[in-house]
Amino acid sequence: MKAAVYEEIRKIGIKEVEMPRIEHPEDVIIEVHRTSICGSDLYIYRGDLHETMSPGKSGVGHEMVGTVVELGPRVTRYKVGDRITAAYSVSCGSCHSCRLGVTAHCETTNKAVYGFGGAFGGLAGSQAEFLRIPFAEAHTELVPESITDDQAIFISCNLPAAIRGIQNAQIRLGDYVGVVGLGTTGQLALRLAAQSGAARLFAIDKVESRLKKASETGADTYSANQPDIKEQIMEQTGGRGLDVVIEVAGQPDAFDLALSLLRPGGVYSGLGVYVGSEHPINIGDIFLRDLTIHTHGFDNTQPNMWNAIRVIERGMIDPAQLITHRFSLSEIANAYEIFDKAADDVIKVAIHPK
């Protein structure tokens, strides 16, 4: 079968690899209908995780929907032909962390993530024609017929993360809410915030096409390239600042900006993925302004997958509207290049393995 593999920094290729097989009684094998490129995949593409990847061997991708083609003997929840999606991180469902709902820190799988190399379990990636799903019953969901493949790929990662960001933001009726970073998860968080009682939305990014997309929600848009962005927003909030900022950029300057925009007693809800180990934080400022800090970049997706299905089924949000580009698996190199450069007004890339 064909699968996308990490070859070197900024180079993803297609290789013929062995078909996955049942390795444990709780495995299932799926034929992948649709997969996609997530913003966190760019950390691999750009070489930030080069040391954990095996060039020419490590598969990539962690978002997917597909049909079950083979079942391990202990799997009773599904049957061949069922359409399922899996959380990006593999969790067993029974260890201490999983029972606490901290599924991304599963003690059985040791924080395994599809397509993230040796340091995260060495699992195959979802950007492939077929994929083995270990501990299948613990971190997957049956996709209802009412949900399309295009919608279902968002259930693996982006939409549950956005839901968690809203939960941690603790938005109150009448709040001024900012979203810093308007990639896929940021766009989803913005749309959910619009339905969560926010009186006014402030959308912030460096990419003009993302700001244009965010304006569809009625949000005020601000370019993070403007040196006086803080002053502009402070002027619009009576000099007080924002009640809540949801930060989804995963960059130190975005983190600093998010904190600077908060009013005293404000809430920071962090969804950005950070791979750096050092960044100065002014603890005194956080203390004196009584800020509440929530981080959730290494998201515990599984607990919110059902919520994600519900908000799609009930018409609260249609994440598929964010898909701007489609590629076949053979075009994966071009897909990564466009997504990496934020070119051609790209927001979300869908990959069709077949």
Question: How confident is the model over 86-127, as pLDDT tens digits?
Answer: 999 999 999 999 999 999 999 999 999 999 999 999 999 999
pLDDT in tens, 234-291: 999 999 999 999 999 999 999 999 999 999 999 999 998 888 778 899 999 999 999 9
Q: Model confidence at 298, in pLDDT bands (50, 70, 90)?
A: confident
Residue 307: phi and psi, rounded to 5, are -60, -40
Percent of the chain beyond pLDDT 90? 95
CB contact set of 109 (below 8 Å; sequence gap of 6+): 89, 90, 91, 92, 121, 134, 135
Q: What is the pLDDT of residue 41?
A: 96
Q: What pLDDT score was predicted for residue 354?
A: 85
282: CB partners within 8 A, 6+ apart: none
Q: Kindly report, residue by residue over 10-63, the tens digit of the pLDDT.
A: 999 999 999 999 999 999 999 999 999 999 999 999 999 999 999 999 999 999
DSSP H helices, the chain, are 41-45, 96-99, 149-152, 158-169, 184-193, 208-214, 229-236, 252-260, 283-288, 302-313, 332-341
H and E: helices and strands count for the chain: 11, 15
pTM over 0.85: yes
User: What's the pLDDT score for residue 296?
Assistant: 87
DSSP state of 346: -
Mean pLDDT of 192-201: 97
Q: For position 278, what pLDDT does the model report?
A: 84
Long-range contacts of 326-332 (CB under 8 A, 24+ apart): 326/350, 326/351, 326/352, 327/351, 327/352, 328/352, 328/353, 329/2, 329/4, 329/14, 329/127, 329/128, 329/129, 329/353, 330/2, 330/14, 332/4, 332/12, 332/13, 332/14, 332/127
Q: What is the pLDDT of residue 282?
A: 93
Q: Please give the average per-residue pLDDT across 172-177, as a whole number.
A: 98
| Amino acid 178: pLDDT | 98
Residue 162: per-residue pLDDT: 97
Cα 319 to Cα 142: distance, rounded to the nearest angstrom: 18
Superfamily per CATH, domain 160-295: NAD(P)-binding Rossmann-like Domain (3.40.50.720)
Separation CA 14–CA 233 (nearest Å): 46
For 222, the token pair is: 């601000």
Partners of 16 in beta bridges: 2
**Residues 128, 354: contact at Cβ < 8 Å?**
no
CA distances from 14 to 92, 328, 341 (A): 30, 11, 21
Q: What pLDDT sits at residue 230? A: 97
The set of residues, in sequence order, having a beta carbon less than 8 Å from that of 2 and lying 6+ positions away, is: 14, 15, 16, 17, 128, 129, 329, 330, 353
- Domain definitions of the chain by residue range: 2-157+300-352, 160-295
Residue 274: its pLDDT value, please? 87
302-313 vs 158-169: helix axis angle to the nearest 10?
Answer: 100
Is pLDDT of 299 > 90? no
Give me Rg for the CA atoms of the chain.
20
> Which residue, 128, 41, 126, 114, is CA-closest to 338?
41
CB-CB contact of 338 with 346 (8 Å)? yes
Query: Would you say residue 227 has pLDDT above 80?
Result: yes
Please give the pLDDT value at position 95. Answer: 97
Hey, which CATH number is domain 2-157+300-352, 3.90.180.10, 1.10.1040.10, 2.60.40.2300, 3.50.40.10?
3.90.180.10
Looking at the chain, the whole-number percentage of residues with pLDDT higher than 70 is 100
Beta partners for residue 200, in sequence order: 176
* CB of 245 closer than 8 Å to CB of 262: yes
The reported pLDDT for the residue numbered 228 is 97
